[in-house]
A and B are shown apart, each in its own frame.
Chain A
Amino acid sequence: MAVKKWFKMANLLHVPEEGDAHARYNILRRNMIIIMILVTLIPLLLMAFVNYHQYRTALRDEIVNPLRVLVNKTKHSFELFLAERLSTVSFIASAYSYQELADENTLNRIFQVMKREFGGFVDLGLIDSNGIQVSYVGPYDLKGKDYAEQSWFHEVQVRGSYISDVFMGYRKFPHIVMAVQHRSLTGQTWILRATVNTEKFDDLIASMGLDPESDAFVLNRSGVFQTPSRFYGGVLEQFPPPLPPVSYEANVIEDKGPRGRDVFLAYAYFVHPAYILVVVKPKAEVLKTWYTLKSELAILLAVSSGIIILVVYRIAGILVRRIRESDEKREAAFNEMQQTHKLSSIGRLAAGVAHEINNPMAIVNEKAGLMKDLIEYKENFPDKEKFLSLVNVILQSVQRCRSITHRLLGFARRMEIQIEVLDLNEVVKETLTFLEKEALYRNLDLRLNLAPDLPRIASDRGQLQQVFLNFLNNAFAAVEDGGMVAITTWEQDLDTVGVSITDNGVGMSEETLKHIFEPFFTTKKDKGTGLGLPITYGIIKKLGGEIEVQSKEGQGTTMTVYLPKKPKEGLGG
């Protein structure tokens, strides 16, 4: 699994070397964005997730703990209240003899004291070991009633005491019944039974001080309400099942309340009697701060993620553009180096060839020259004219060869540069004087657009003349008689001046344009050596300038040269 993931990462870091450059940079950019977003967003999301859960737990504890404490406290109050009443009944059962309790007058007196001192007692009665009501004080006439068959009677006999569920008794007030069994020293047993109204329950619940949205009540083990509830129903109605799981310690669960609200349900089971105290608090109320926090967290997360993605996107874009630019620069420099290298190695070859040919050409020259001499100096040489013309053709051919080898050597040599401060317009005009006659003869439209305030530059006069002469020769060759050739000079920027030579001649195809600076490439058939533009290119490069060519077949050509006002470092001045 980990290995697989590692491979995936490695793959993300890998950018194909092959293929379309544009697509490669796009892949590089995409991978960078993905990696950067992953390494920034994953920790952020992880932190947000952890924080979310920690906050939630902390806040929940903060809400749940007071609820638990409240439930525990109230439960104890209930237990204390019931235990107090039960021990009162138990005390009376022990303190008085059977005979005293059986006497209704005595019982009545005791009952009145109980009512006064403790409150909540509704009636009091004595039941003998057979379940027969012996005496009774209270609103009902229960004397002589037989309880022997009732379940509470059996329970009190087994456990010694009994507390009933709530029932609607006297005047439709909810009541509970308490009973205590007493065994005298003689072994006689009797049961003292009292009814208590549950007004006190309501007081205990009210003392919890709950807010109006919350609810608190007591249930029995069957889920019947022992005290009225605000939202669920009145006394003796049924609590919607299920009941919370049994727990004698205060516990809090999450539940659906009435009207479908999410609520916290805090509760505790009583050991004796079998009651359950329940407090219901709506979640929305208590978790208000949590919801605020949660939405703040979400907004923070969304905003920071957005910023991260935006920044990553921009940074990746900038970085990839930089990489691309430097790649392109490197490639251009490499191409230029290659071109220079090609020129210089061809130059060496050309020089070698030129030198080797010069020697045999010299022999031909001298031998033919000697022949000519002999023919000329000897009178009556048979067919003198014929031989002379033959020898002259040989000598002319030698001259042609010599001009070729000289050009080759010129190309190889690329001559030394002599820097002087010069007026470019002047150089252009000087160069034009070589060609004025041809222009006149061919009726060419020569246009001079020379910038009048062109700054003087430091460059090589002779080399520039050669360059312009080459361009003008090419332009003249490209136009028909009566065609147009324009020369323009201007100041390009603070460091550069420009010269362009435009013609409206035949122009060049794209294929030709690609090769014009290559040595020995020519379109002039036998007229050209294919060295003019390569030499020009070499000169301009050496002078620290640039050449630009624009051409369209049938429309003409513009050759533009940009020259530095000051020569590059490393050139002799």
Chain B
Amino acid sequence: MEPCKVLLVDDEVEFVLALAERLTIRGLHTQVAHNGEQALFVLQDYAPDAVLLDLKMPGMDGLEVLRRVKKINPQVKVVILTGHGSEQDAEIAQRLGASGYLQKPADIGVIVDTIKRACSGFAD
């Protein structure tokens, strides 16, 4: 099976780089974007199976990115990973088609499981 391709979107550079490396170690294929615009740009070439998305970012916010990603390619699974999540955000994200919702700081095992499930299409 092809390795699962994940696009990580987060404005916290240190966080996202470390996480990308860890996911790579665990056999995932990763690409990093630091804001919404970049993410949408990368999305064209990279064609990820899943997007790991922060909600609170400068510029375009996570929910907007989610909306556009789903518009461009509804097949892409999106998992939210945020430190600012509220019940409402989780609900909106779910309605917009997010496959998962995780709270920072999250256990690496949980993140990997969620992404893998998203990749294989179970989360729907």
* A72 interface contact, C-beta 8 A: no
* B59 interface contact, C-beta 8 A: no
> Considering the chains assembled together, what is the distance between the CA atoms of A107 and B12 in angstroms?
166
* A362 interface contact, C-beta 8 A: yes
The answer to whether A359 and B22 have CB atoms under 8 Å apart is: no
> Considering the chains assembled together, what is the distance between the CA atoms of A273 and B53 in angstroms?
141
Instruction: Report chain A residues within 8 Å CB of B84.
Output: 355, 358
Q: How many residues of A contact B (CB 8 A)?
A: 23
> Considering the chains assembled together, what is the distance between the CA atoms of A402 and B104 in angstroms?
8
* B103 interface contact, C-beta 8 A: yes
Given A366-B22, A373-B25: A359 and B12 interface contact (C-beta under 8 Å): yes
> Considering the chains assembled together, what is the distance between the CA atoms of A128 and B87 in angstroms?
150
* B4 interface contact, C-beta 8 A: no
The answer to whether A361 and B104 have CB atoms under 8 Å apart is: yes
The answer to whether B15 and A362 have CB atoms under 8 Å apart is: yes
> Considering the chains assembled together, what is the distance between the CA atoms of A160 and B72 in angstroms?
156
For residues 346 through 362 of chain A, which have their beta carbon under 8 Å from a beta carbon of chain B? 351, 355-356, 358-359, 361-362
> How far is the CB of B109 from the nearest CB of chain A, in Å?
10
> Considering the chains assembled together, what is the distance between the CA atoms of A363 and B54 in angstroms?
13
* A370 interface contact, C-beta 8 A: yes
Given A366-B22, A413-B87: A361 and B105 interface contact (C-beta under 8 Å): yes
> Considering the chains assembled together, what is the distance between the CA atoms of A401 and B103 in angstroms?
13
Given A359-B12, A363-B12: A369 and B83 interface contact (C-beta under 8 Å): no
Instruction: Report chain B residues within 8 Å CB of A351.
Output: 86
The answer to whether B103 and A367 have CB atoms under 8 Å apart is: no
> How far is the CB of A466 from the nearest CB of chain B, in Å?
16
For residues 458 through 481 of chain A, which have their beta carbon under 8 Å from a beta carbon of chain B? none
* A251 interface contact, C-beta 8 A: no
> Considering the chains assembled together, what is the distance between the CA atoms of A355 and B83 in angstroms?
5
* A202 interface contact, C-beta 8 A: no
The answer to whether B83 and A359 have CB atoms under 8 Å apart is: yes
The answer to whether B105 and A365 have CB atoms under 8 Å apart is: yes
The answer to whether A406 and B103 have CB atoms under 8 Å apart is: yes
For residues 67 through 116 of chain B, which have their beta carbon under 8 Å from a beta carbon of chain A? 83-84, 86-87, 103-106, 108
> Considering the chains assembled together, what is the distance between the CA atoms of A359 and B25 in angstroms?
23
Nearest-neighbor residue (CB-CB) of A377 within chain B: B25
The answer to whether B104 and A362 have CB atoms under 8 Å apart is: yes
Instruction: Report chain B residues within 8 Å CB of A398.
Output: 105
> Considering the chains assembled together, what is the distance between the CA atoms of A293 and B108 in angstroms?
107
> How far is the CB of A350 from the nearest CB of chain B, in Å?
13
The answer to whether A362 and B105 have CB atoms under 8 Å apart is: yes
Instruction: Report chain A residues within 8 Å CB of B86.
Output: 351, 413
Instruction: Report chain A residues within 8 Å CB of B106.
Output: 362, 365
- Chain B: residues with CB nearer than 8 A to chain A? 12, 14-15, 18-19, 21-22, 25, 83-84, 86-87, 103-106, 108
| CB<8 Å pairs between A and B, sample of 12 | A355-B84, A358-B104, A359-B83, A362-B106, A366-B18, A366-B22, A366-B108, A369-B108, A370-B22, A373-B22, A377-B25, A401-B105
Additional pairs, 4, CB under 8 Å, beyond known A363-B14, A366-B14, A373-B21: A358-B83, A362-B83, A365-B106, A402-B103
The 7 lowest CB-CB distance pairs between A and B, nearest first, are A358-B83, A365-B105, A362-B104, A366-B18, A362-B105, A359-B83, A363-B15
